């Protein structure tokens, strides 16, 4: 956001053509970040569908989904700790456990037979 404020003058918000030109210059100036973001999004989407394809052959759908959520949650928790943010409170953990417990019977009901 700071790069945007530095590059786009305040008067540009009153003139749509100037705002568009400044924004396009900013995108072109930082094109490597845009390309990296597109590649990362494509890789993430492709790998997700590939993993689902192989997981459905080996595991019931809800087991695969639960495993995926546990891994993602663990990675997000590690990222939060690495950034020095506070861990979830006891109330937040309790609420998450209640929601997970309520979802468990639905997953058990729809398990592969």
Same domain, 77 and 91: yes
Note whether 79 and 94 are same-domain residues: yes
Residue 1 sits in the same domain as residue 50: yes
- pLDDT for position 95: 94
Domain boundary among 58, 73, 92: 58
Contact 107, 62 (CB under 8 A): yes
Whether residue 46 is found in the same domain as residue 78: no
* Whether residue 70 sits in one domain with residue 50: no
Q: What is the pLDDT of residue 1?
A: 46
For residue 7, the enclosing domain spans 1-58
Task: Check whether residue 45 and residue 77 sit in a common domain.
Answer: no
Are 41 and 78 within one domain?
A: no
Shared domain check, 80 and 34: no
Determine if the pTM surpasses 0.85: no
pLDDT of amino acid 20: 66
**Which ranges of the chain have pLDDT less than 70?**
1-24, 26-30, 107-113
pLDDT at 10: 59
Task: Clarify whether residues 17 and 31 are in a common domain.
Answer: yes
Number of domains in the chain: 2
């Amino acid at each position: 956001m700071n790069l945007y404020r530095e590059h786009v003058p305040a008067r540009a918000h009153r003139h749509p053509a100037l705002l568009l030109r400044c924004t396009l210059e900013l995108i072109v100036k930082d094109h490597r970040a845009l390309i990296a973001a597109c590649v990362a999004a494509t890789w993430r989407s492709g790998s997700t569908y590939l993993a689902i394809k192989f997981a459905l052959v080996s595991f019931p759908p809800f087991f695969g989904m639960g495993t995926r959520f546990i891994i993602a949650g663990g990675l997000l928790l590690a990222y939060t700790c690495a950034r020095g943010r506070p861990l979830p409170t006891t109330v937040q953990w309790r609420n998450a456990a209640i929601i997970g417990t309520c979802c468990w019977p639905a997953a058990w009901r729809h398990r592969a037979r």
